[in-house]
Copies of this chain bind each other. A is one copy, B any other.
């Protein structure tokens, strides 16, 4: 279970592959891998967004994400999970978050991956501030699950 915060742009595919090849180390055991990639869109609540700053609470972020991972591990039969999250200034089309889960069978991986991203969005202390054409605004709440 690994949580990484990235201050510069990251490539979700590269993170996924590198982790699977170098860290997972259980080759032949995982039958399923699910990954979620959240990408910055250039439009939100009716306005064109030019950039975004992701603030977080160093220390609490890692602690909360670690707890979320541990809960997923207790609840589902998964082999490993990786969370990578951007902080700092993000531009449209750049990835914000990767959540990847490996398991022997697919149901556990799907369920755990979905749990992880929903829990991250409600519990991990990140905040988005959007840069619009001439002004900035804090994003007030996340998009609901449905």
Contacts and interface: CB of A to CB of B under 8 A. Distances in A.
B36 A93 contact: no
Contacts of A43: 28-29
The majority secondary structure among interface residues of chain A is: mixed
Copies of this protein in the complex: 2
A39 B34 contact: no
Among the interface residues A30, A32, A117, which one has the most CB atoms of the partner chain B within 10 A? A32
A14 interface: yes
A75 interface: no
B28 A32 contact: no
A104 B32 contact: no
Given A13-B16, A105-B143, A110-B114, A39 B35 contact: no
Given A13-B17, A17-B13, A114-B110, A34 B34 contact: yes
Interface in A1-46: 11, 13-14, 16-17, 27-43
Interface of A: 11, 13-14, 16-17, 27-43, 92-93, 104-107, 109-110, 113-114, 117, 143, 145-146
Rank and list the top 7 A-B pairs by shortest CB-CB distance, nearest first.
A28-B42, A13-B13, A33-B37, A31-B41, A28-B92, A27-B93, A13-B17
